Every structure is written in C-alpha cells, then in structure tokens.
Amino acid sequence: MDALLAALADPARWRLVSLLAERPRPVGVLAELAQARQPQTTKHLQTLERAGIVTSQRTGQRRIYALRPGPLRELAATLGRLADTAQQTAGPRETYDRYGASLHTERLAAQEPGWADGRSFSFRRSLTAHPELVWRHLTEPSLLAHWWTPHDLRVSELVFEPRQGGRILQEYRDAEDADGSDLVAGRAEGTVDDIRPCEHLAYRLSPQLPDGGLAFTAHITLDLRPTTTGTDLDVHWRITDSTVDSADFIAGIEIGFGQSLDTLTTTLATNPHDTDSTDSTDTRDTK
C-alpha cells in the first residue's frame, strides 16, 4: 500500500493514470497527451508498473501500457473503511465534533472577564455501589486516577487531601503519551471546602492557562444518597472568576466531566462490593 500511495502522490503520474483509465496507450502518445518529455514519461510509467498500478507489453517497436484496476479498487476500499471508522456514531469523532461546536459558541461569548460567571453544570449518576465505596473513589488519589479524566486523557500527577482546607492538584496528559514527551494537556489546582464523609464533598478547582494563569474557578459539590440498588450521585459545577481565555476549558466541561462520570459508573458496576483498602498517597507520573 505504501508503494501504491507513493506512486500516486506525484501529479504527473496521477495524470498518466487518468489517461490510462480511458484506454491502453503507448509511451509516445502518453507523453504527448501529458505534455511531457518521453524519457521522463517512461520513468514515471516504470514507477507505476513497479507499484503494480499499470502493466505493459511490447508490440513491435512500441510499448503499450494499461491500467490495472485491482490495486485502485483495493485502495478505494481501504479509504472507504477509514472514512467509515472516522464517521462511526458515538465514537471519538462525534465527541470531537460536539466539542468543536461548543468551542465555537463559547469563544464567541468570551468577550470580557467574568463572561461565564454564574454558569452552572449539573450531573447525576445512579451508581451500583454503596456510598462508602463511592466515597473512596471520590477522595482516594489512587482510585480517582482511574476515572477523573475524559476518555482520551490520563492522570500524570494527582494530589487530593480529603479534609477541609486540603490541597488538590490534578495534571493530565494524552492517554497515548506513554513517555511524557507531549505537552501537558491540562493542570488544575484547588482546595477542599467542605467534607462530610459518604454524604457531601465540596471543593474549588481552577484550571491553569498555558501561561500559568488561572482560567476560572469551578465550585464543585458532590452529594451522595443511598438507594436500594447503590448510590445516587449529584454533581453541581458553578463558575466564577472566568477569564476571556477560559472559553476552551468551559467548552469541554459538560462533555469531559460527563465522560469521567461514565467511567466511574462503569468502574463501580464492574466491582460494586470492593472492600479492599487502598493507600491514599500522591499519584505521580514516574515516566
């Protein structure tokens, strides 16, 4: 496939393929129609033949070239499969497009500081785990690291001190950036404001802009209510201190945190009665 694509990438060779799609032709006629010199045309045809795109045979003093449709059909099928994969519903591309639409809207609205102050986002999930286990996943760094990012990101550094006034630090990278060579995808700092174990958690979290400044402050509350099947979790975000440059971050809250909660839901559904103790120490990227 690589040789095929390389051969077709040259505009002069693509012109010859187009001419041969109409009918087999000799080198001299192809050079004339392509308005090129015959030696150069011969070299291009030899490249196409080595890639399996054309075939040739000698007739008297002339060499006739013809197009082989098979490789082109295989290429077309491969490109079609790639297009189908990119357009699959409920996949990463759909999330990308949704974020793009939200990004456009928020950037238009971000005209002056404070533009998003008072904005709120609410989430609810019914979790198939008792409140004590849910609470651990909300407050223990080693458990938080498994769900506290959107699908395409991973936690690279995490501090969460589950006490009033406790420090919060969250840093994340692209999920496929295994060695930490890419830029940090995001970093946020915050403080725990209120904590009632297994019932209520409130904290402030401020994402950082690329220059190190704060994009906005999110006031986040999480309330847990036991149910007959597990726990209902209600989450509420309220925005203050929004800067003009915070539009890109705010555009991703609904999608990104929604994905994080979906991961938490799946994690707890897989093992809703886990009672193993977990050390709640700092989680840091050692790459």
CATH assignment of the domain containing 190: 3.30.530.20
Whole-angstrom distance, CA of residue 112 vs CA of residue 123: 28
Q: How many domains does the chain have?
A: 2
pLDDT at 256: 94
Same domain, 178 and 61: no
Residues 280, 158: Cα–Cα separation, whole Å = 11
Residue 275 has pLDDT above 70, yes or no: no
> Is 99 a domain residue?
no
Domain match, 183 and 251 both:
yes
The residue among 10, 59, 3 whose CA lies nearest residue 18 is 10
What distance lies between CA 17 and its chain's CA centroid?
A: 37
Please report the pLDDT score of residue 280 as a whole number.
41
- Domain assignment of residue 56, yes or no: yes
Residue 144 maps to a domain:
yes
Residue 270 reports pLDDT greater than 70: yes
Banded model confidence at residue 87, pLDDT cuts 50, 70, 90 = confident
Are residue 149 and residue 255 in the same domain, yes or no? yes
* 154 within domain boundaries: yes
Average pLDDT over residues 141-148: 95
Check whether 282 has a pLDDT greater than 60: no
Looking at the fold, whether 169 and 279 belong to one and the same domain comes out as yes
Distance CA 285, CA 287 (A): 6
What range does the domain containing 20 cover?
Answer: 2-85
Residue 100 domain flag: no
**Per-residue pLDDT at 92:** 80
Whether 27 and 150 share a structural domain: no
* Domain stop point among 85, 105, 122: 85
93 within a domain of the structure (yes/no): no
Return the bridge partners of 280, or none.
none
Same domain, 71 and 143: no
Domain check: are 51 and 175 in the same one?
A: no
* Same domain, residue pair 163 and 264: yes
Residues 135 and 71 in one domain: no
Specify whether 77 is located in the same domain as 160: no
Q: Are residues 7 and 52 in the same domain?
A: yes
DSSP 272: T
Global pTM value: 0.74
Q: Which residues make Cβ contacts (< 8 Å) with residue 151, sequence separation at least 6?
A: 92, 95, 175, 259, 263
Percentage of the chain exceeding pLDDT 70: 94
Residues with Cβ within 8 Å of residue 102, at least 6 apart in sequence:
251, 252, 254, 255
Residue 90 lies in a domain: no
